[in-house]
């Protein structure tokens, strides 16, 4: 972030403001961790801050300090709209295009508040007054740590802030294994542990909270796994009926796509999840190396994200979506085999 921008933001935060902090729709660990981490920091500045999420998030994120204070736009629209219209500053975290907030888009777009983006996704839109956008970053949580450091206030990072930021770095780096993890990421995480983040407890809350139903659903997902060796690609499908059979709850399919990517010789993986309520198929894409699933998703599935992790959707039914995906693969044969 530009030094000049930091100085201006520092000046802004000297007096109490009405602040709203927003993550993307269907928030993940990095989205909730970064918004709550920033929230706790702003409270220390005696700011009137509030996190408003577009919608609900998985139970395994609900242990985070401050979580119960989060407003959900889809079920608390009136209160949220009032806060957004009265806000002096809106922070948008872990996304870079307002349409990633779903039904909140209009309220955010029409708000007169000064907007500050902190985000690590590719190809940011141009809606923010101040932009801290860096696609090389492991996570938005690492960026919030940097942001606080740039403001010269690392000393304010306490157990609450540390726990939230640690959780987001942990989840967005796939437990520190994705290539975006750097030695700096580890230094930041080390500092967060020194400031009170309990890494073992956080790991348990996020990863060792499985329901029996979720494990059974994983079993079904794995038995649906299909491999296309000539394209070094593996895919998983889950229909709405299968989700219903195992009492699907938000977050239950988190990480399933990584099992497809973990197969030997596979560098491209996809999971197709039917969403009957919204009449779409939600798609998660993962890759290894330089094959950009961000580009792939933008080109074919109305989505985007990072080089190695992206999401998208299809308006076709599940079977046709998968057929369409398979029909696209030959165009990428060279790219997939030259990795």
Rounded to a whole number of angstroms, the CA Rg of the chain reads 20
Degrees, nearest 5: CA angle 209-215-219: 155
Q: Closer CB to ligand 5GP, residue 19 or residue 137?
A: 137
172 binds Mn ion (CB under 5 A): yes
> If contact means CB under 5 to 8 A according to the sort of partner, which of ligand 5GP, Mn ion, none does residue 305 touch?
ligand 5GP
311 binds ligand 5GP (CB under 6 A): yes
Question: What is the closest distance, in whole angstroms, from the C-beta atom of residue 26 to ligand 5GP in the complex?
Answer: 7
33 binds ligand 5GP (CB under 6 A): no
- Backbone angles phi and psi of 165, in degrees to 5: -65, -40
Q: In what order do the strands lie in the sheet with 304-305?
A: 226-228, 233-238, 268-275, 280-287, 309-314, 304-305
309 binds ligand 5GP (CB under 6 A): yes
Residue count of the chain? 339
Q: Closer CB to Mn ion, residue 28 or residue 252?
A: 28
- Secondary structure class of 131 (helix, strand, coil): strand
Which of these ranges, 123-131, 133-141, 302-310, 316-324, lies near Mn ion under the rule CB under 5 A? 133-141
Q: Closer CB to ligand 5GP, residue 50 or residue 313?
A: 313
The CA distance from 123 to 133, in Å, is 9
Question: Total number of residues binding Mn ion (CB under 5 A)?
Answer: 4
Give the Å distances, CA to CA, from 8 to 11, 12, 16, 116, 124. Answer: 5, 6, 15, 12, 21
27 binds ligand 5GP (CB under 6 A): no
Torsion of CA 241, 245, 247, 252, to 10 degrees: -70
Torsion of CA 29, 32, 33, 34, to 10 degrees: 120
> If contact means CB under 5 to 8 A according to the sort of partner, which of ligand 5GP, Mn ion, none does residue 309 touch?
ligand 5GP
Question: What is the closest distance, in whole angstroms, from the C-beta atom of residue 99 to ligand 5GP in the complex?
Answer: 8
Q: Which residue number has the CB closest to ligand 5GP?
A: 311
Contact 35, 53 (CB under 8 A): yes
Which of these ranges, 9-17, 171-179, 186-194, 293-301, lies near Mn ion under the rule CB under 5 A? 171-179
Cβ atoms < 10 Å from Cβ of 215: 11
The CA distance from 148 to 45, in Å, is 12
> If contact means CB under 5 to 8 A according to the sort of partner, which of ligand 5GP, Mn ion, none does residue 89 touch?
none
Q: Closer CB to ligand 5GP, residue 39 or residue 94?
A: 94
- Secondary structure class of 224 (helix, strand, coil): coil
Q: Closer CB to ligand 5GP, residue 103 or residue 149?
A: 103
66 binds ligand 5GP (CB under 6 A): no
For Mn ion, the binding residues (CB under 5 A) are 30, 94, 140, 172
Site for ligand 5GP, rule CB under 6 A: 24, 100, 284, 303-306, 309-312
């Amino acid at each position: 972030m530009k030094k000049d921008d930091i100085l201006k933001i520092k000046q802004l935060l000297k007096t109490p403001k009405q602040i709203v902090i927003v993550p993307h729709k269907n928030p993940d660990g990095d989205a909730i961790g970064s918004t709550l981490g920033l929230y706790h920091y702003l409270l220390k500045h005696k700011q009137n801050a509030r996190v408003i999420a577009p919608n609900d998030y998985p139970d395994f994120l609900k242990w985070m300090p401050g979580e119960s204070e989060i407003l959900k736009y889809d079920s608390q629209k009136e209160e949220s709209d009032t806060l957004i219209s009265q806000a002096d500053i809106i922070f948008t975290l872990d996304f870079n295009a307002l349409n990633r907030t779903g039904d909140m888009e209009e309220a955010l777009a029409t708000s007169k508040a000064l907007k500050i983006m902190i985000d690590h996704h590719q190809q940011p839109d141009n809606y923010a007054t101040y932009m801290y956008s860096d696609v090389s970053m492991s996570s938005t949580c690492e960026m919030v740590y940097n942001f606080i450091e740039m403001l010269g206030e690392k000393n304010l990072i306490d157990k609450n802030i540390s726990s939230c930021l640690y959780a987001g770095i942990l989840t967005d780096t796939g437990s520190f294994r994705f290539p975006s993890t750097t030695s700096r990421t580890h230094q930041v995480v080390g500092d967060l542990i020194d400031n009170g983040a309990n890494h073992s407890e956080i790991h348990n809350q996020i990863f060792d909270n499985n329901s029996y139903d979720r494990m059974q659903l994983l079993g079904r997902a794995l038995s649906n796994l299909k491999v296309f060796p000539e394209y070094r690609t593996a895919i998983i499908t889950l229909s709405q009926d299968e989700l219903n059979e195992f009492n699907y709850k938000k977050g239950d399919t988190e990480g399933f796509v990584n099992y497809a990517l973990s197969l030997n010789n596979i560098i491209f993986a996809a999971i197709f999840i039917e969403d009957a309520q919204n009449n779409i198929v939600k798609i998660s894409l993962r890759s290894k190396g330089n094959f950009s699933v961000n580009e792939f998703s933008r080109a074919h599935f109305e989505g985007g994200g990072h080089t190695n992790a992206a999401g998208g959707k299809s308006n076709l039914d599940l079977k046709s979506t998968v057929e369409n995906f398979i029909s696209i693969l030959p165009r990428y044969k060279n790219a997939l085999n030259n990795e």
